[in-house]
Structure 1
Amino acid sequence: MGNFDFVKDVFPFIADDCARAESYISSDPLAACVYARRAIDNLVEYLYYDVLGLEKPYHDDLSGRIHNPGFMQQVSPGIIAKLNVVRKIGNKAAHDDHPNISEQAALATVRELFHIVIWAGYHLTAACDNVPISAQFDPALAKQSMALNPAQFKTLLLRTKQERNAHAKAIAERDALIASKDAAALKLQAELEALRAQIKAAQQANTVPDTHDYHADEADTRALLIDMMLKEQGWALDDPHDREYRVEGMPPTADNPSGIGYADYVLWGDDGKPLAVVEAKRTSVSPLVGQQQARQYADCLERKFGQRPVIFTTNGYETQIWDDAGGYPPRDVQGFYKKAELQRLIERRSSRSVLSSLPFDEKMDHIAGRAYQKAAIRAVDEAFDASQRDALLVMATGTGKTRVVISLVHQLMEAGWVKNVLFLADRTALVRQAANAFKNPDTGLGDSVPVVNLLNDADRNAGGRIYLSTYPTMMNLINARDRDDDAAAADGDASLSADSASAASSGAAAPTLKPTLKFGPGFFDLVIIDEAHRSVYAKYGFLFDYFDSLLVGLTATPRNEIDRNTYRLFHLEYDERTGGVPTFAYDLDQAVRDGYLVPPRSLSVNTKFMDRGISYDELSPEEQEQWDSRDWDEDGDVPDSVSAGDVNRVLFNADTIDKVLGVLMQRGLRVGDGDELGKTIIFARNQRHAEAIKARFDINWPEYHGTYAQIVTHATRNAQQIIDDFSEPAKDPRIAISVDMLDTGIDVPDVVNLVFFKPVMSRTKYWQMIGRGTRLRPDLYGPGRDKTDFLVIDCCDNVAYFNQNLPESDGYVGVPLSDRIFRMRLALLETLDAATGASGNADDADGLLAFGGSPDDRAGYRAALARTLCALTNGMDPDGNVIVRPHRRSIEAASQAEWWRHVTRDKAMQASELAGLPSAFRAGGEDDVAGGSHAGDDAAPSGDAAPSGSAAPGGNVAANDNAAKRFDLMIYSYELAVLRAEADRLGRTPDQGYGLYGIAAPAMQPPAIKHAVREAVDALRGPKLRAIPDVAACSDLIEAVAGDDWWNDVTVPMLETARKRLRGIMRYATGGVRKTVFTDFEDELTVTEGETLASGGDVAAVDMQRLREKATAFLRGLGGNIVLARVRTGRQLTEQDLAELERMLIDNGVGDEETLGEAGEQSGGFGLFIRSLVGLEPAAVQAAFSTFLDGSRYNARQIEFVNLIVHELTANGVMSAARLYEPPFSDVSGGGPEELFGSERDVDDICDILDRVRRSAIPVARRAA
Structure 2
Amino acid sequence: MLPPKGEYRRMTPEARARLIIDKQLVDAGWLVQDLKTANLGAASGIAVREFMTDAGPADYVLFVDRRPLGVIEAKREEAGENLTATEPQTERYASARLKWTTNHQPLPFLFEATGQIIRFTDSRDPAPRSREIFHFFRPEQLDAWAGEPRSLRKRLADGLPALAEAGLRGCQVSAVTGLETSLAANRPRALVHMATGAGKTFTAITAIYRLLKFGGARRVLFLVDTRNLGKQAHQEFMAYTPPDDGRTFTELYNVQRLAGPALDPHAQVVISTIQRLYSVLSGQPIDDSADDLSSFEVAPPASAERQTGQGRLVRYNPAVPVESFDVVVIDECHRSIYNLWKQVLDYFDAFLVGLTATPDNRTYGFFNQNIVAEYSYEDSVADAVNVGYDVWEIQTDVTGQGGALQAREWVDHRDRATRVKRWAQLDEDTAYTGRDLDRSVVNKSQIRQVIQAMKSAVETRLFPARKEAPKTLIFAKTDSHADDIVQAVREVYDQGNAFCRKVTYGEKDAEGVLQAFRNDYHPRIAVTVDMIATGTDVKPLEVLLFMRDVRSRGYYEQMKGRGVRGLDAEGLRKVSASAEGAKTRFVLIDAVGVERSLKTDSRPLERQPTVPLDSLLKQVAMGTRDDDTVLSLGNRLVRLARLLDDGQQQRIAQAAGGVPVGELGRALIQALNPDAIEQAALATAQAAGITRSAGTLTDAERDAARSARVAAACAAFDSPDLRERIETARREREQIIDHVNLDTLRFSGFSEQADGQAQAAIQAFEDHLRHHADEIAALGFVYGQPWQRRALVLDQVQALHDNLARPPLMLTTERLWAAYARVQGNRVKGVGLRRQLTDIVSLLRFALGLDAELRPFADEVDRRFQTWVFRHNAQRATAFTPEQMDWLRAMKDHIAASAVIEIDDLDFADLAAKGGRQRAWNLFGQELSGLMDEMNVELVA
Asked if TM exceeds 0.5, the reply is yes
2:131, 2:712 → 1: CA distance?
47
**1:1230-1252, Cα deviation, whole Å (9 max, x unpaired):** xxxxxxxxxxxxxxxxxxxxxxx
| 1:715 has 2:506 as partner | yes
| 1:570 has 2:570 as partner | no
Note the 1:326-405 alignment, pairs <5 A. Answer: 326=125, 327-343=127-143, 345-346=145-146, 347=148, 349=150, 352-354=154-156, 358-362=160-164, 365-366=166-167, 369-405=168-204
Q: What is the match of residue 553 of structure 2?
A: 763
* Displacement after TM superposition at 1:263 (Å): 2.4
User: Does structure 1 retain, via aligned residues, the 8 Å contact 2:71–2:109?
Assistant: yes
Match for 1:446 among 250, 253, 259? 250
* Displacement after TM superposition at 1:1025 (Å): 9.0
Q: What is the match of residue 321 of structure 2?
A: 520
Q: TM-score, normalised by structure 1?
A: 0.44
Between Structure 1 and Structure 2, whose CA radius of gyration is higher?
Answer: 2
* Displacement after TM superposition at 1:1065 (Å): 8.1
User: Does structure 2 retain, via aligned residues, the 8 Å contact 1:799–1:1093?
Assistant: no
* Displacement after TM superposition at 1:448 (Å): 1.1
Higher mean C-alpha displacement, 740-749 vs 1064-1073: 1064-1073
Give the secondary structure class of the aligned counterpart of 1:758.
Answer: coil
Match for 1:678 among 436, 457, 470? 470
Q: What is the match of residue 226 of structure 1?
A: 21
- Alpha carbons of 1:306 and 1:416: their partners in 2 closer, same or farther (altered >3 Å)? farther
Q: What is the match of residue 263 of structure 1?
A: 58
Q: What is the match of residue 279 of structure 1?
A: 73
Match for 1:548 among 343, 346, 349? 349
| 1:529 has 2:330 as partner | yes
* Displacement after TM superposition at 1:322 (Å): 1.9
1:473, 1:213 → 2: CA distance?
35
Q: What is the match of residue 475 of structure 1?
A: 278
Q: What is the match of residue 187 of structure 1?
A: none
1:749, 1:959 → 2: CA distance?
39
User: Letter of the aligned partner of 2:522 in structure 1?
Assistant: D
2:13, 2:118 → 1: CA distance?
18
User: Does structure 1 retain, via aligned residues, the 8 Å contact 2:326–2:351?
Assistant: yes
Aligned Cα root-mean-square deviation (Å):
4.2
User: Letter of the aligned partner of 1:608 in structure 2?
Assistant: D
Give the secondary structure class of the aligned counterpart of 2:73.
Answer: strand
Q: TM-score, normalised by structure 2?
A: 0.57
2:649, 2:426 → 1: CA distance?
30
User: Letter of the aligned partner of 1:753 in structure 2?
Assistant: V
- Alpha carbons of 1:660 and 1:344: their partners in 2 closer, same or farther (altered >3 Å)? farther
Q: What is the match of residue 649 of structure 1?
A: 439
Give the secondary structure class of the aligned counterpart of 1:337.
Answer: coil
1:403, 1:601 → 2: CA distance?
28
- Alpha carbons of 1:628 and 1:289: their partners in 2 closer, same or farther (altered >3 Å)? same
User: Does structure 1 retain, via aligned residues, the 8 Å contact 2:95–2:105?
Assistant: no
Note the 1:984-1023 alignment, pairs <5 A. Answer: none
Q: What is the match of residue 735 of structure 2?
A: 1075
Q: What is the match of residue 232 of structure 2?
A: 433
* Displacement after TM superposition at 1:453 (Å): 1.0
- Alpha carbons of 1:385 and 1:768: their partners in 2 closer, same or farther (altered >3 Å)? same
1:306, 1:690 → 2: CA distance?
68
1:236, 1:273 → 2: CA distance?
14
Give the secondary structure class of the aligned counterpart of 1:637.
Answer: coil
**Structure 2: which 5+ runs fail to align?**
41-46, 243-247, 285-315, 415-422, 604-621, 624-645, 675-709, 758-941
* Displacement after TM superposition at 1:233 (Å): 2.2
User: Does structure 2 retain, via aligned residues, the 8 Å contact 1:527–1:551?
Assistant: yes
* Displacement after TM superposition at 1:1079 (Å): 2.3
| 1:776 has 2:547 as partner | no
Give the secondary structure class of the aligned counterpart of 1:662.
Answer: helix
User: Letter of the aligned partner of 1:1077 in structure 2?
Assistant: I
Q: What is the match of residue 424 of structure 1?
A: 223
User: Letter of the aligned partner of 2:584 in structure 1?
Assistant: T
* Displacement after TM superposition at 1:662 (Å): 2.2
2:178, 2:210 → 1: CA distance?
13
* Displacement after TM superposition at 1:646 (Å): 1.8
Note the 1:200-215 alignment, pairs <5 A. Answer: 215=10
2:170, 2:8 → 1: CA distance?
69
- Alpha carbons of 1:268 and 1:711: their partners in 2 closer, same or farther (altered >3 Å)? same
* Displacement after TM superposition at 1:300 (Å): 2.1
* Displacement after TM superposition at 1:616 (Å): 5.5
User: Letter of the aligned partner of 1:739 in structure 2?
Assistant: V
Note the 1:947-986 alignment, pairs <5 A. Answer: 962-963=651-652
- Alpha carbons of 1:549 and 1:1031: their partners in 2 closer, same or farther (altered >3 Å)? farther
* Displacement after TM superposition at 1:456 (Å): 5.0
User: Does structure 2 retain, via aligned residues, the 8 Å contact 1:269–1:343?
Assistant: yes
- Alpha carbons of 1:613 and 1:1025: their partners in 2 closer, same or farther (altered >3 Å)? farther
User: Does structure 2 retain, via aligned residues, the 8 Å contact 1:1031–1:1065?
Assistant: no
**1:372-405, Cα deviation, whole Å (9 max, x unpaired):** 1111122222222222110012222111111121
- Alpha carbons of 1:452 and 1:480: their partners in 2 closer, same or farther (altered >3 Å)? farther
User: Letter of the aligned partner of 2:59 in structure 1?
Assistant: D
User: Letter of the aligned partner of 1:790 in structure 2?
Assistant: F
User: Does structure 2 retain, via aligned residues, the 8 Å contact 1:589–1:1095?
Assistant: no
2:505, 2:738 → 1: CA distance?
23
- Alpha carbons of 1:282 and 1:766: their partners in 2 closer, same or farther (altered >3 Å)? closer
**1:486-536, Cα deviation, whole Å (9 max, x unpaired):** xxxxxxxxxxxxxxxxxxxxxxxxxxxxx9702122221111122223453
- Alpha carbons of 1:732 and 1:682: their partners in 2 closer, same or farther (altered >3 Å)? same
User: Does structure 1 retain, via aligned residues, the 8 Å contact 2:161–2:214?
Assistant: no
Q: What is the match of residue 670 of structure 2?
A: 1032
Q: What is the match of residue 411 of structure 1?
A: 210
User: Letter of the aligned partner of 1:716 in structure 2?
Assistant: E
| 1:592 has 2:381 as partner | yes
Give the secondary structure class of the aligned counterpart of 2:61.
Answer: strand
User: Letter of the aligned partner of 2:375 in structure 1?
Assistant: Y
- Alpha carbons of 1:340 and 1:696: their partners in 2 closer, same or farther (altered >3 Å)? same
Note the 1:792-1191 alignment, pairs <5 A. Answer: 792-802=588-598, 804=599, 962-963=651-652, 1028-1029=666-667, 1031-1033=669-671, 1059-1060=715-716, 1075-1079=735-739, 1081-1085=741-745, 1086-1090=747-751
Q: What is the match of residue 203 of structure 1?
A: none
User: Letter of the aligned partner of 1:225 in structure 2?
Assistant: I
Q: How many residues align?
A: 605
User: Does structure 2 retain, via aligned residues, the 8 Å contact 1:601–1:1092?
Assistant: no
Structure with more of its chain in strand, by fraction: 2
* Displacement after TM superposition at 1:273 (Å): 4.2
Match for 2:481 among 686, 689, 701? 689
User: Does structure 2 retain, via aligned residues, the 8 Å contact 1:234–1:516?
Assistant: no
**Structure 1: which 5+ runs fail to align?**
1-84, 87-111, 120-211, 251-260, 482-514, 573-580, 618-623, 810-850, 853-956, 969-1019, 1037-1053, 1097-1265
Q: What is the match of residue 74 of structure 1?
A: none
2:673, 2:756 → 1: CA distance?
56
* Displacement after TM superposition at 1:597 (Å): 0.5
**1:757-810, Cα deviation, whole Å (9 max, x unpaired):** 1111110111101100111110124698110001111101223444x5x6999x
Q: What is the match of residue 609 of structure 1?
A: 398
